[in-house]
Amino acid sequence: MCVLCWNCFREKDTEGACPHCGYDGAEQLERFPLALRPGSILNGQYIVGRVLGQGGFGISHWAFQDHSALTSITLPGSVTSIGEYTFSGCTNLTSITLLEGMTSIDDNTFGGCNALTSITLPESLTSIGNWAFTGCSALTSITIPEGVINIGVNPFSNCDRLTAIHVQPDSYAAEFFKDDPRLVIDG
């Protein structure tokens, strides 16, 4: 049986200490008895990782940010929103598939995913946050679904190889990117 390490998010074959990073979840339960259990799913969309600290500020948890072992992601339709910085800095992430049901990508969600070459956005998507894909320097093309009605500041800044932003005519995205030389109107 494979389980995930809640520190490095790599698969491991056994319970106990992770052979990749040495993290032992049992120790966390003793040190932070009030924290959410690693692996808990919040609001049907967020996976709780290891505790970073506990104090007057609350409890901070680790997610996928800066997780270099992550190479591809497929998020089910039951995940409707991806929070800020969730996958930022995942430098080996090459492929992202977001299934129908996803409506929102928050600020800097995929920032610095510089190996990202492929992303599939669902028709259900309505919002793309500020700098959502900033620094995705390997991305060459993206298609913005017609239902997107909110696009934040510079969602594709520092995407040096991005040459085509595909949109539908008369869509919000067509208007938003009207002065961008990468705009390609399909249909």
Tell me the mean pLDDT in the region 39-53: 68
Rounded CA separation 133/111 (Å) = 5
Q: Does 141 fall in a domain?
A: yes
Q: Does 133 fall in a domain?
A: yes
Rounded CA separation 180/133 (Å) = 16
Tell me the mean pLDDT in the region 37-52: 70
Assess whether pLDDT exceeds 60 at residue 49.
Answer: yes
Q: What is the pLDDT of residues 5-37, one digit of tens each?
A: 777 777 777 777 888 888 887 777 777 776 777
What's the total number of domains in the chain? Answer: 1
Query: What are the beta bridge partners of residue 119?
Result: 96
* CATH of residue 116: 3.80.10.10
Q: What is the pTM of this model?
A: 0.69
Q: What is the pLDDT of residues 115-173, one digit of tens each?
A: 999 999 999 999 999 999 999 999 999 999 999 999 999 999 999 999 999 999 999 99
**Residue at token pair 């389980």:** 3
The distance of Cα 155 from the centroid of its chain, to the nearest Å, equals 14
Q: Does 102 fall in a domain?
A: yes
Rounded CA separation 161/131 (Å) = 16
> Phi and psi (nearest 5°) for 175?
-70, -45
DSSP state, 64? S
Range of the domain at 181: 64-187
Q: Does 73 fall in a domain?
A: yes
CA quadruple 43, 154, 159, 107: dihedral, nearest 10: -20
Three-state secondary-structure class, residue 13: coil
Contact in structure between 95 and 72 (CB atoms under 8 Å): yes
Q: Does 148 fall in a domain?
A: yes
Q: What is the pLDDT of residues 63-112, one digit of tens each?
A: 677 778 788 888 777 778 887 788 888 899 999 998 898 899 988 889 99
Query: Cβ neighbours of residue 68 under 8 Å, at least 6 residues apart?
Result: 90, 91, 92
Neighbours of 116 (CB within 10 A): 26
